[in-house]
Amino acid sequence: MKRLVLLPVAAALAAVALVLASSASAAAPANTAAPSVGGAAVQGATLTASDGGWSNNPTSFAYQWQRCHDDGTSCGNITGATSKTYTLAAADVGHTVRVVVTATNQDGKASATSDATDVVDSSNGPRNDVKPTLGNGSKAGDTITVGNGLWTPTPTSFSRQWQRCDAAGANCKDIAGATGQSYNIASSDVGSRLRALVTAHASGGQQATVATATSPVIASNTTTTTQTTTSVVTTTNTVTTTTPAPEAPTVKIVSLTHTRTSVNARIRVCSQISGTVRLTERDLKTRQLPYTRHFSVYVNGCTTVSKSWALLSRYRSNGRLVVTLRATDSRGLLSQLASSSTLVRR
């Protein structure tokens, strides 16, 4: 008799568990890692979408490619671009591109969007050999200037677009009307970093765009303090004092030479405060992966040091080796990028 009672109870409990498990799994996909785009941002190149990460077991994915402004905003669907891959067209030159991935399962669908690509270049546009760099300027009221960098072949003209980024140097957005070679830093830039997009134009209408490194975080140029004095009559006087904003360190490559196996540089470093300055050095050569090193230098005012490092085997073929340097002081302030080059001959 006990067996006859227990079996229906066990069956009922199993049925309830099955219902609960079924209802728990009934959920649309949820994105856990954003999609991404692989491929070069050059007209004629093919971009490939990565689906990203999803929970709740999607059974299929759909794609919609979008064309955006050069800062990744104002995106719109590209008609017919609904495959996992997309070949960049002439209409994409000067823009960025991103992809929207939609995941579907039997319980619903959800979409997630990739970051935008770099600005798309013409297929035969000028090739950048040394990135443009920013001049000094780190506080409101300063004027900051961008150089053109080095290009092959020599461009016929340049255009520029200044951008305001967050304090980490990300999420860079165009500054309306800021298209000159120089930019007057505004109070609205305080707490942000700045950079410029430099576009090189060729005689045939081709173009290529490169972004500079970001500036130091922009500081205010004044501080206001309030002092209270008491006499026979109590009065409050407000005194405004101008305090120099913290200055970032500076670095300059005084000379650059090489042997068959090593690179030798004389470097001048200046810092507003005494202490250890960290140097980030990078070797660059066309069609070779870059290589980054770090040095430390003690600076009291300005100092000139000699540094040598190995010339990696991949840089020993004929061609121009470009060396860039950036200094970081103990406050985390970054210098402008310094660069120099030397011609390697086997």
Q: Is 162 exposed, middle or buried (0-12, 13-18, 19+ CB in 10 A)?
A: buried
Quote the CA–CA distance of 45 and 317 in Å, as a whole number.
28
The pTM of the full predicted model, rounded to 2 decimals, is 0.60
For β-strands 46-50 and 85-87, DSSP reports them as: antiparallel
| CATH at residue 85 | 2.60.40.2700
Q: Looking at the structure, do residues 207 and 135 belong to the same domain, yes or no?
A: yes
Going from the C-alpha of 147 to that of each of 98, 123, 189, 201, the distances in angstroms are 29, 24, 20, 15
Q: Looking at the structure, do residues 100 and 154 belong to the same domain, yes or no?
A: no
pLDDT at 14: 54
Q: Which two structure tokens, joined as six digits, stand for 211?
A: 């972004």
Q: Looking at the structure, do residues 189 and 137 belong to the same domain, yes or no?
A: yes
pLDDT at 11: 56
CA atoms within 13 Å, Cβ hemisphere of 233: 2
Q: Looking at the structure, do residues 252 and 343 belong to the same domain, yes or no?
A: yes
Cβ atoms of 212 and 103 closer than 8 Å: no
Quote the CA–CA distance of 158 and 65 in Å, as a whole number.
29
Q: Looking at the structure, do residues 293 and 256 belong to the same domain, yes or no?
A: yes
Quote the CA–CA distance of 135 and 334 in Å, as a whole number.
13
Q: Which two structure tokens, joined as six digits, stand for 207?
A: 């173009």
Q: Looking at the structure, do residues 194 and 159 belong to the same domain, yes or no?
A: yes
Cβ atoms of 254 and 304 closer than 8 Å: yes
Quote the CA–CA distance of 97 and 79 in Å, as a whole number.
13
Question: Which of 113, 134, 163 is at the close of a domain?
Answer: 113
Beta carbons within 8 Å of 331's beta carbon, 6+ residues apart: 246, 273
Sign of the alpha-carbon dihedral angle for 192, 76, 61, 37: negative
Quote the CA–CA distance of 333 and 295 in Å, as a whole number.
16
Q: Looking at the structure, do residues 287 and 346 belong to the same domain, yes or no?
A: yes
Q: Is residue 235 part of a domain?
A: no
Q: Looking at the structure, do residues 250 and 205 belong to the same domain, yes or no?
A: no
3-state secondary structure at position 188: helix
| CATH at residue 263 | 2.60.40.3880
Please confirm whether the linkage preceding 153 is cis (ω < 30° from 0).
yes
Q: Is residue 229 part of a domain?
A: no
Q: Looking at the structure, do residues 100 and 142 belong to the same domain, yes or no?
A: no
Q: Looking at the structure, do residues 211 and 270 belong to the same domain, yes or no?
A: no
pLDDT at 120: 97
Q: Is residue 287 part of a domain?
A: yes
Quote the CA–CA distance of 247 and 333 in Å, as a whole number.
8
Q: Which two structure tokens, joined as six digits, stand for 97?
A: 């591109």
Q: Looking at the structure, do residues 131 and 62 belong to the same domain, yes or no?
A: no
Q: Is residue 307 part of a domain?
A: yes
Q: Which two structure tokens, joined as six digits, stand for 336?
A: 């402008």
Quote the CA–CA distance of 136 and 117 in Å, as a whole number.
29
Domain region containing 196: 125-217
Q: Looking at the structure, do residues 43 and 89 belong to the same domain, yes or no?
A: yes
Q: Is residue 236 part of a domain?
A: no
Q: Is residue 227 part of a domain?
A: no
- Single out the residue of 68, 45, 182, 63 nearest to residue 112, CA to CA: 63
How many structural domains comprise the chain?
A: 3
pLDDT at 225: 46
Question: Which of 196, 217, 238 is at the close of a domain?
Answer: 217
List per-residue pLDDT tens for the chain, 346 residues long. Answer: 445 444 455 555 555 455 444 444 579 999 999 999 999 999 999 999 999 999 999 999 999 999 999 999 999 999 999 999 999 999 999 999 999 999 999 999 999 999 999 999 999 999 999 999 999 889 999 999 999 999 999 999 999 999 999 999 999 999 999 999 999 999 999 999 999 999 999 998 999 999 999 999 999 987 544 454 445 445 455 555 555 567 888 989 989 999 988 999 999 888 888 888 889 998 998 878 889 899 888 887 888 889 998 999 889 888 889 999 988 888 888 888 888 889 888 7
Q: Which two structure tokens, joined as six digits, stand for 85?
A: 């891959």
Q: Is residue 237 part of a domain?
A: no
> Could you tell me the strand order of the sheet in which 338-344 lies?
291-299, 275-284, 319-328, 338-344
Per the listing, tokens 């001959």 go with: 345
pLDDT at 286: 84
